[in-house]
Structure 1
Amino acid sequence: MKNRDFNNWLSGFRESIADYGYYINFEKVHRNVYNIKVELNILNSLIGSNNIETDFENLINKYPETLKCIPLLLAVRSNEIYAIDGDGDYTYNFKKPNLSVEQYKTFMRKTGLFDLMKNHIVNNLVDYATGVETGLDSNGRKNRGGHLMENLVESFIQKSGFVKNESYFKEMYIHQITDKWGVDLSAISNQGKTEKRFDFVVKTPNMIYGIETNFYGSGGSKLNETARSYKTLALETDTIDGFTFVWFTDGKGWTSARHNLEETFDVMEHVYNIKDLENGIITEVFK
């Protein structure tokens, strides 16, 4: 650690680690639309209707299962939708209809869905639903982003020759580490009162490595909290024979929390970024 300069190390942090699958999971999009494709095509018969409310009523009476498509047309992932206005408040169930057809007609009218179909604002509900699903899936980027750094680190662990569930393990709790290898981790579990989970654990003949990973593309209070907690964790693990804490982090978000990160950098021997991974730090450290 003494041989590394913090400012130089921080300057190598990345803007993003988005891979090709980060933006939209089209497999999921197409699967979700396919599951209601028949019902959407039935609803397509309402497009351009000159008597849409009557046609809707007849359609729902004959094919009540088509109601399950309605929430998606409003970009809602739920079988129930609540709505209130001067005429009252209602909770509409679209999987198990709980209101009259007249009330569902009111819903379609007031949400603008009748207008969407009657006036040819859309020409095909399958295509429209695919677009809505694509938009909804973009909300999943945060979750996918949270796993990007884990996936990246895991790829470098594998490239270094470690084998999953043999020499490296994913998402292990302190008690699992203790049970498997008999190492006393009470120093980092508050004498067994807290249950810490590591993103990865690598086992070599001489050492157990507990690994945490994260990437921060933007700043926030979370970063300061992370830096402080990992500084504490590093100091606690220094007292444990046969166990080493390793932290892989990156992201330009750290620029706003550089002082807290530097404090951790100064006391923690094994904190690395993506550039370190690319330069073979895993092979160098995990022995």
Structure 2
Amino acid sequence: MKNRDFDSWLSGFRESIADYGYYINFEKVHRNVDNIKVELNILNSLIGSKNIESDFENLVNKYPEVLKCIPLLLAVRAKEIYAIDSEGEFTYNFKKPNLSVEQYKVFMRKTGLFDLIENHIVNNLVDYATGVETGLDSNGRKNRGGHLMENLVESFIKKAGFIKDKTYFKEMYIHQITEKWNIDLSAISNQGKTEKRFDYVVKTPNMIYGIETNFYGGGGSKLNETARSYKTLALETDTIDGFTFVWFTDGKGWTSARHNLEETFDVMEHIYSIADLESKTINELFEEK
């Protein structure tokens, strides 16, 4: 299979493998909002308030639990928020209040939340929080993108007849591989000092395959780093009898790191794209020499 032309191979890389669930995980969005829905509705009573500072103080004194909603209104996941200005520096705890109500009023005023609420800029804090959660969840696309490639490769592994936890294994560490099949992997673990984890491990009668998967829709320095590290890994595993490193990668992001990828392609036998997966069975890809 090393008769392949790199430029031709790279030209077949995909723009995207996004499915419908890639963009926003609405189940998670609604679950997170539901967890504070009661408190948000209590805060809704402040919308349009003519005396928001005193109304906020009365509300917090009566329902201190409403404070836990505040970080989300600023698109912050943490329960503590640090702030500093000419009047001092403060760490506000919104799960276990640690400052006076007066100081929390300062926070609400200086962050602009009082203005947001009293001037009817929003009409419903539950709806507003849902929008904020949706925005925050969009940050998870990178992780979901990685899982998309993992899931795609796993579907082909299953299609080839391999059975999970019997002939293929997900997220397996070097020490687990060593213990399960009594194979010496010290060449890739720096004599046991590093603990690498493979996305998948496939076991055939004559070989153990350690598999990495990734998809890069955009460029960046990480791609060069990945290509170099996988080149090193491929060269190290060549010295181990009974073990083969396999890399499934794709994505137009590689165009910006094509030279590093080509260097790895030149020395690595088992490097494949989605097009390779679609044109051959996993068994054929693994067994080709």
* TM norm structure 2: 0.94
- Alignment: residue pair count: 287
Distance in 1, matches of 2:96 and 2:124, equals 25
Query: Who is 1:134 aligned against?
Result: 134
Could you say if the C-alpha distance between residues 225 and 84 of structure 1 is closer, same or farther in structure 2, counting changes exceeding 3 Å?
Answer: closer
Which letter does structure 2 place at the counterpart of 1:202? V
SS in 1 for 2:262: helix
The answer as to 2:26 corresponding to 1:26 is: yes
The answer as to 2:185 corresponding to 1:173 is: no
Contact 2:208-2:242 at 8 Å conserved across structures: yes
Query: Who is 2:92 aligned against?
Result: 92
Which letter does structure 2 place at the counterpart of 1:195? E
Contact 2:156-2:281 at 8 Å conserved across structures: no
| Cα offset, 1:86, TM superposition | 2.2
Which letter does structure 2 place at the counterpart of 1:126? V
Contact 2:67-2:95 at 8 Å conserved across structures: yes
| Cα offset, 1:194, TM superposition | 2.4
Query: Who is 1:228 aligned against?
Result: 228
Distance in 1, matches of 2:256 and 2:111, equals 43
CA RMSD of aligned residues (A): 1.5
Query: Who is 1:246 aligned against?
Result: 246
User: 1:1-287 alignment to 2 at 5 Å?
Assistant: 1-286=1-286
Could you say if the C-alpha distance between residues 206 and 74 of structure 1 is closer, same or farther in structure 2, counting changes exceeding 3 Å?
Answer: same
Contact 1:210-1:245 at 8 Å conserved across structures: yes
Distance in 2, matches of 1:60 and 1:125, equals 16
| Cα offset, 1:49, TM superposition | 1.3
Large movers: runs of 4+ above 4 Å: none
Could you say if the C-alpha distance between residues 93 and 190 of structure 1 is closer, same or farther in structure 2, counting changes exceeding 3 Å?
Answer: closer
Cα offsets for 1:90-131 (capped at 9, x unmatched): 211111111111111121122221111111111111001100
Could you say if the C-alpha distance between residues 87 and 187 of structure 1 is closer, same or farther in structure 2, counting changes exceeding 3 Å?
Answer: closer
Which letter does structure 2 place at the counterpart of 1:226? T
Task: Report sequence identity in percent.
Answer: 87
Task: Give the unaligned 5+ runs of structure 2.
Answer: none
Contact 1:167-1:202 at 8 Å conserved across structures: yes
| Cα offset, 1:175, TM superposition | 1.6
* TM norm structure 1: 0.95
Which letter does structure 2 place at the counterpart of 1:67? L
Task: Give the unaligned 5+ runs of structure 1.
Answer: none
Distance in 1, matches of 2:229 and 2:91, equals 44
